[in-house]
Structure 1
Amino acid sequence: MSLFLSQKVPIVFVPGLFGSMNDQIIPGTGDWSFGLARTAYEPFVRMLENMGYRLNEQLFVAFYDWRQPVGLSAEQFLVPVIQWAKQKTGSPYVNLVCHSMGGLVARSYVQGDAYQNDVDQLLVFATPNAGSPISYCYWAGGKLPRSVHAKRNVVEIYMNVYLAYLEHGRPFKRVQAIQKHFPSLLDLVPAADYGDYLLEKKNGVESFVPYSSMVVRNEYVDLLNRTMGIIYDRNIRVTVVAGVGHETIHYLRTVPSLSPTKWVDGRVVGSINSKAGDGSVMAKSVFALEGDKYYVEASHLDVLYKSEPLLWQLLG
């Protein structure tokens, strides 16, 4: 692959967490759309159209059920859209442009056994390739404690909307409900390549909880990262873009949990933040994926727009 082609290679855009919505996910929301994320993604689609990619002709959106494990999303939702794009355009290849969780869905396909040798470029923006501590808070504790982050971030806003839906009209134990109805969240917690991230305080002394000893581990992304070389063996060009300059959770401060089912690796009571991230994902997590790497001074959503010159260079 990586050939010079006389016409544009079609784009398949894979949105991030909460960037796909339909009646299957929340009844009454209609056919597939960007849902709550439309204000971020619809302008991005228009930007790609201004580059010469007409929607559903050279530009295709791979909506998916983000509640499900990323491997299932790749198999059930991404693969059919890639096939549609190739059939519609006659191109043997597509370029995958992915935001946030969408990058993990794309990686699941290009690194998997079902891969059809049909991806020329993989462009990932703000993807937590080694996970994000925010996700530990929701998976293990059902919430982002107020003591953790001074500013609301996009994950927190969308998560609260979805949890309000889960709570509506039914008995609700938040942690159990999240783990039952939202199993993909485990694919977003920090993986081994993130490094130890829980600081536990015991007897007045703080020390890191070793990832290897934790109950909550991101075994799926650990597998993706161990087998990352498959992408390069398949001659896929990889571009990785991270946003920086926005206060982002780097480490979580914890104390021992008293519950056998909640905060199992430590109850979160605070955080250590860094501006080496986009407000939701640390740059070091994005760059856990090898490829051509770029920093952009941007928030988690704005990284798409701030990367327009790069997109022109790679796809224009």
Structure 2
Amino acid sequence: MQNPLKKPIIFIPGLMGSMGNDIIDGTGDWSFGMARWVYEPLISQLEESGYRINEDLFICYYDWRQKNHYIVDTYLKPMLDRVKEKFPDNKVDFICHSMGGIVARTYIQGRNYQDDVDKLIMIATPNKGSVDAYYLWSTGRLKPKRGGNHFYNLIVRGYLWILLKLMDVSFGTEGLEEIQETFPSIGELIPSLDYGPILCYEDGNGSWRTVPLYYMRYKNYLLDHLNETLHLLPYKVNYTCCIIGHNFSTSEYIMIDKERLFNGYEEIILDVVETLEGDGTVTVKSGELEGFHDQYLEFNHRDIVKHAYSCIEEIYGLETKDKQQDEGGVEETTLHILLTGSANIVVIQEGQRIMELQNQQLTTLYPHLHEKYPNNHQWILLKDVPKGSYQMKLHNEEGKKIHMTVMAKDLKKLQEEMEIKAHQQNYTIKFEIT
């Protein structure tokens, strides 16, 4: 018998948090894909507290390339209808991460809202947009790497790299039009007007000045509308909470060329200006919603998902069977290998063989994910690997060149992308994870 006081939960993951045939044909049924280590800990915590997947806890996977209204109509509303058939007398709660919160707000603040959501809990949602999204939307490139890339940013980089390779589209202005057409969702994640100025320029002696909003080349009409009508949100849901990460270097402004701006009104992006008031992806001021419940955790954009359970537990009055002390935000070391063809690979770390790929079969003692795509494209992800010096030996078994990129949070001595010639044997690269 259903507990009438226990409302069903729909969890909505963020950008790059879903994978299935709708996004890349051949990847199978919906899952968290390479982001499963981001989301599975929170789902497990909810299950430990008594929720059950597809009974009273549902996951709304979606094609995160699309615009939010399309996502609502194609994925969220059909799931809501199924859940309400099972719970006709209950409203539904949304727990969302990152872009998932924008998807939820698009439905709740939209014309077709059916007054069927009770609680809206948003974890690291860019309610006023993301500077990193603007950087990609304007340049066709990801922002320059800094002193480290946390896990979630590596997932974003990885999926963009794979998808653009499958499309045969290059990063940069030459592929910008196709990137914007393929990923319209990115355009709905750029900063809104109430974020404030995002462009700035150097004004000499290391100082810089912000540029008025009307100089921005692109506008986010979706977020502008949602934030202009934010005063209506309390009349649509009973409780709204924003869980916000901080103390991680996060893009706050975009540095542009002063001379090109004032002489030709051109928006030439040079770099980003960062702040510690953010989670590595979303700034604090973007995550906050004035007049609602804001809670702050010192975790990055990935780890805040797991640690948000402490806030959710308080909101719901939940208790887990084995309550564990929150650990600090120390992220495990991961190694990502992405390639566009079939190759045999051996990875050696300071004399020890830690991974071998032979005929697309992976052998390793480390926790791993191995996702395969059309045309022999593949992504290998190893977790808890040791830091130190690495050597990778690769044999190209195909009659065409293979492109490969290697990613890790603190990667040294390696170029962005490598090209291995057709049938090339004993291609060796060296790098360090510090």
Same fold (TM over 0.5): yes
Tell me if the contact between 2:245 and 2:299 (Cα under 8 Å) persists in the aligned partners: yes
Instruction: For residue 104 of structure 1, give the secondary structure of its aligned residue in structure 2.
Output: helix
Report the equivalent of 2:21.
23
Structure 1 residue 198 displacement after superposition:
1.1
Q: Paired residue for 2:36?
A: 38
The answer on whether the counterparts of 1:100 and 1:128 sit within 8 Å (CA) in structure 2 is: yes
Look up the match of 1:195: 196
Aligned to 1:71: 69
Give the number of the structure whose residues are more often strand, by fraction: 2
Name the CA distance, whole Å, in 1 between partners of 2:258 and 2:22. 38
Give how far 1:280 is off.
0.6
Among 215, 218, 228, the residue aligned to 2:217:
215
CA contact (8 A) 1:200 1:266 kept: no
Match in the other structure for 1:136: 134
- Say whether the 8 Å CA contact 2:128–2:286 is kept in structure 1: yes
The two structures, once aligned, show a CA RMSD in angstroms of 2.3
Q: Tell whether the 8 Å contact from 1:211 to 1:217 is kept in structure 2 after alignment.
A: no
Alignment of 1:76-91 (within 5 A): 76-91=74-89
Q: CA deviation at 1:42?
A: 1.6
Q: Would you say the 8 A contact 1:144–1:156 is kept in 2? A: no
Change (3 A) 1:121 1:176: same
Contact 1:254 1:268 in 2 (8 A): yes
Q: Which residue of 1 aligns with 2:282?
A: 281
Letter paired with 1:74: V
Aligned counterpart for 1:58 among listed residues 56, 59, 64: 56
Structure 1 match to 2:257: 255
* Cα offsets for 1:178-201 (capped at 9, x unmatched): 101000101111111111011134
Q: 1:140 to 1:155 in 2, by over 3 A?
A: farther
Between the aligned partners of 1:159 and 1:54, the Cα distance in structure 2 is 29
Give aligned-pair identity as a percent. 35
| 1:166 aligned counterpart, secondary structure | helix
Please identify, of 160-169 and 87-96, the stretch whose mean Cα deviation from structure 2 is larger.
Answer: 160-169
- Once the two structures are superposed, residues 218-253 of structure 1 have per-residue CA deviations (whole angstroms, 9 ceiling, x without a partner) of 111000000112211224310111011111111121
2-side partners of 1:145 and 1:113: how far apart? 36
Q: Partner amino acid for 1:240?
A: C
Distance 1:46 1:201, change over 3 A: same
Higher CA-based Rg: 2
Q: For residues 281 and 275 of structure 1, do their structure 2 counterparts lie closer, same or farther at Cα, with a shift above 3 Å needed?
A: same
Change over 3 Å in CA distance of 1:285–1:267 after alignment to 2? same
Are the aligned partners of 1:136 and 1:189 in contact in 2 as well (CA < 8 Å)? yes
Question: The residue matched to 2:120 in structure 1 has which SS?
Answer: strand
Q: Which residue of 2 aligns with 1:159?
A: 156
More helix by share: 1
Q: Which runs of no fewer than 5 residues in structure 2 stay unpaired?
A: 319-434
- 2:142 and 2:157 in contact (8 A); partners too: no
Which of structures 1 and 2 has the larger relative contact order (alpha carbons within 8 angstroms, sep 6+)? 1
Question: Over residues 72-98 of structure 1, what are the superposed CA-to-partner deviations in whole Å (9 max), with x where a residue is unaligned?
Answer: 111221111112112223443000000
SS in 2 for 1:168: helix
Q: What is the rounded CA distance, in whole Å, between the counterparts of 1:155 and 1:138 in structure 2?
A: 16
Residue pair 1:154, 1:280 contacting (<8 A) in 2 also:
no
Which runs of structure 2 are paired with 1:239-250 in the superposition (5 Å)? 239-250=241-252
Contact 2:217 2:267 in 1 (8 A): no
Task: Provide the residue aligned with 1:231 in structure 2.
Answer: 233
Alpha-carbon separation, structure 2, partners of 1:102 and 1:45: 15
In the alignment, the residues of structure 2 paired with residue 271 and residue 166 of structure 1 have an alpha-carbon distance, to the nearest angstrom, of 24
TM-score, with structure 2 as normaliser:
0.66
| Structure 1 pair 23–90 and aligned structure 2 pair: CA distance change class (3 A) | same
- C-alpha displacement of 1:313: 1.8
Residue type at the aligned position of 2:149: R
Deviates more, 1:17-26 or 1:200-209: 200-209
Q: Say if 1:206 and 1:10 are closer, same or farther in 2 by CA, change over 3 A.
A: same
Distance 1:283 1:190, change over 3 A: same
> Measured at CA, do residues 288 and 154 of structure 1 come closer, stay the same or move farther in structure 2, by a change above 3 Å?
farther
- The number of aligned residues is 307
TM-score (norm 1): 0.90
Contact 2:12 2:94 in 1 (8 A): yes
Native 8 Å contact 1:149 1:249 kept in 2: no
Distance 2:259 2:86 in 1: 54
Structure 1, 193-202 or 113-122: larger mean CA deviation: 193-202
2:152–2:302 contact (8 Å) kept in structure 1: no
Partner of 1:304: 305
Return the letter of the residue paired with 1:210: P
Counterpart among 126, 146, 165 of residue 149 in structure 1: 146
Q: Is the 8 A contact 1:129 1:288 kept in 2?
A: yes
Structure 1 residue 289: Cα displacement: 5.7
